[in-house]
Structure 1
Amino acid sequence: MAEHTMRQQILEQFLADPEVILSGEDLSQRLGISRAAVWKHIRQLRTLGYQIDAVPSRGYRLTTQADLLLPAAVQSGLETISIGHRVEYFAETDSTNLRAMELAEQGAQEGTVVIADCQNGGRGRMGRRWSSPAGVNLYTSIILRPDMAPIQAAQLTFLSAVATARAFEAVAGIEVQVKWPNDILVNGCKIAGLLNELSAETEGVHHVVLGIGANLNMSREQFPDDLRRPATSVLLETGQTVSRVAFAQELYRQLDRLYPLYQQQGFVPIRLAWEALFYLQGHKVEVDCGADVFTGMVAGLADDGALLLDLEQGGQQVIYAGDVSVAD
């Protein structure tokens, strides 16, 4: 059995009951390994930041959890219907979206979550780089298998935006705003980004991967100098660190509530919740679409997630891709 899998199983034994004291013999029998192997894995968990005390003549007790996004920690007390029932963790990977797409192609069940402590190939919208240092943020992707037409898949971006916004408020006490189509802002600075990808055919969607990157405990020095837009983190906004495990769990709970709502009632409640967070709703904006630049008043979202713009010269423009900024 892989080393990380055994450590995970030992951690699960402790997390199942926070007050439990487990002897080396207990763990040896439960897991089918030697007591020497148990001791080795206990030492490794300690080096990862878990405080595991030795209780004389009784065994071991977990007293302090490290802020590591290991599956056992994330799933402990999660109590969701589907999101997070399977968690795949990587200490480092190129992109959680790529790993999630691979798992989805292999048949991974809906609600499977991929988490990385660090990404070396994190991506944002339009191929932009997403800075992903280790130990400070949440980089995660969630597999969904919705019964929908491919044209509707963009609606799930707004669902994940609402879930992310609510997680920031619940865990960090931060009120955020959304920027079309896939950014989460605080005081005009980006604190999270979304990148959803899908596999589909004309008749329907095979799977959708919701990619979410949230800046939690990132210091100013960890942001790259070549950012196109100002960025921030919970630490920079509040002066306090936030538990990555707690944030991940709240995010998955919010997704677990919103996804059934979407399936039962459609896009309308999601759109209304997103528009309530959209700071440019009803404002004059400029949208740079590359070949064209449009100026007008934001009228909200179309049913497929496109931005509706009431143009200055009259008429309404439907925007499917572009960079939005406040007009002068």
Structure 2
Amino acid sequence: MQSEIRKELLDAFTNAGDAFLSGQHLAELIGCSRTAVWKHIEELRKEGFELDAVRNKGYRILKTPEKITADEIRLGLTTHFMGRNIHYEETVESTQKIAHRMASEDAPEGTVIIAEEQLSGRGRMARKWHSPKYTGIWMSMILRPNIPLSNAPQLTLLAAVAIVQAIEEMTDLMPDIKWPNDVLINGKKVTGILTELQAEADRIHSIIIGIGINVNQKTEDFPAEIQEIATSLFIEQKETVSRAELIKSILKNFENLYTMYLEQGFLPIKLLWEGYASSIGKYIKARTLTKTIEGKALGITDDGVLKLEDQTGFIHQIYSADIEL
């Protein structure tokens, strides 16, 4: 009940923009007492929200906190289901672990798990993902699509497109996508995506998409061994980016693309993805578990599989590999 009051309170401030909302109006809108409204206003202040309170006019939010609290994300969120249920923690081992537990406990589709810091963040092939506090976006999303098991990797590509669209909305940067799950800026990695399943042989119970984005790190925030290959939005743009606003943009773009995907299939996503792909038309190395294939990247199939033409003209279909441009 308390969390529902908080959600409705933040929705009211979102819809009001810069206008004041009286305590009486908020109480009637939400269906609670003015005392309950006041208590939630005070809780928002404790979280770091700066509120203007004027007698006979009411309240309005002037400034949000630097932390990515669930309340800050809900303020201004325009989605229908993505991010409407948010689980926030300051420090976690991994948002993916929490997402797996919550998915098995029937968390609704669109549930988002967000942390300020991960102690054991990981990427593909169990690689460590460096997740320092208050600098990046470390989150996982729970989805429950009615699609064939073999189509699940397509959602990695969809997520990459949504992230690129959000970065373009929030900055002047022009990101590229490297198949299958990296977003690059000027050739350096800024985002990783990890897609995992809870499924049976013939049915998907849930798809969990983990997203790590380097937002406001400085070069010295990265371990020395990855400073040459990793970057952040701050390093590239020389300006701090609001992490909460970027999350809201990602959720909005993801929901739009995901809805289109469920209605129209993968083709529209494929066309968008190829428009952002850095490797299309270039010669690359694809390192699979068993061999390395060199050749020209032709694009992806209608299923999201990478097409690679080697020197003999044979076109390989790459389902999983590390790509080197």
Give the structure-2-normalised TM-score: 0.87
Residues 236-247 of structure 1 aligned to structure 2 (within 5 Å): 236-247=235-246
* 1:11 Cα deviation from its structure 2 partner: 7.3
The DSSP-based 3-state class of the residue aligned with 2:91 is coil
Match of 2:10 in 1: 12
The alpha carbon displacement at 1:202 in A equals: 1.4
> In structure 2, what residue type is equivalent to 1:312?
Q
**Do the aligned partners of residues 126 and 69 (structure 1) sit closer, same or farther apart at CA in structure 2, a change above 3 Å counting?**
same
Partner of 1:136: 135
Q: Which moved more, 1:13-22 or 1:182-191?
A: 13-22
Distance in 2 of aligned mates of 1:140 and 1:280: 27
Q: Find runs of 4+ consecutive structure 1 residues off by over 3 angstroms.
A: 5-23, 26-33, 37-43, 52-62
Q: 2:317 aligned with 1:318, yes or no?
A: yes
Q: Report if aligned partners of 2:142, 2:206 keep a CA contact under 8 Å in 1.
A: yes
Counterpart-to-counterpart distance in 2, 1:131 and 1:257: 29
- Residue 160 of structure 2 corresponds to which residue in structure 1? 161
Partners of 1:90 and 1:200 lie apart in 2 by: 27
1:14·1:61 contact (CA, 8 Å) conserved in 2?
Answer: no
Q: Distance in 2 between matches of 1:149 and 1:170?
A: 32
Q: Name the SS of the counterpart of 1:211 in structure 2.
A: strand
After TM superposition, the structure 1 stretch with the greater mean CA deviation from structure 2, 146-155 or 80-89, is 80-89
User: Which shifted more, 246-255 or 108-117?
Assistant: 108-117
1:44 to 31, 43, 46: 46
Q: How big is each residue's C-alpha offset from its partner over 1:93-149, in whole Å with a ceiling of 9 and x where there is no partner?
A: 111122112111111111111111111111111111111111121112111111111
Of all paired residues, the percent bearing the same amino acid is 33
* TM-aligned CA distance change 1:108 to 1:39, over 3 Å: closer
Give the unaligned 5+ runs of structure 2. Answer: none
Report if aligned partners of 2:160, 2:193 keep a CA contact under 8 Å in 1: yes
Aligned-partner residue type, residue 96 of structure 1: T
Is 2:11–2:74's contact at 8 Å kept on the other side of the alignment? no
| CA offsets 1:281-303 (integer angstroms, 9 cap, x no match) | 11111112243111111121133
Q: Contact conserved, 1:310 with 1:317, CA < 8 A, in 2?
A: yes
Task: State the aligned residue count.
Answer: 318
Q: 1:170 to 1:39 in 2, by over 3 A?
A: closer
Q: 1:195 to 1:39 in 2, by over 3 A?
A: closer
Matches within 5 A, 1:1-328: 12=10, 15=13, 17=16, 18-20=18-20, 29-30=33-34, 32=36, 41=43, 44-45=46-47, 48=48, 50-53=49-52, 55=54, 62-227=61-226, 230-326=229-325
The 8 Å contact of residues 138 and 215 in structure 1, kept in 2 or not, is answered as yes
SS at match of 2:157: helix
- CA change 1:42–1:115 in 2 (3 A) is closer
Letter in 1 for 2:20: V
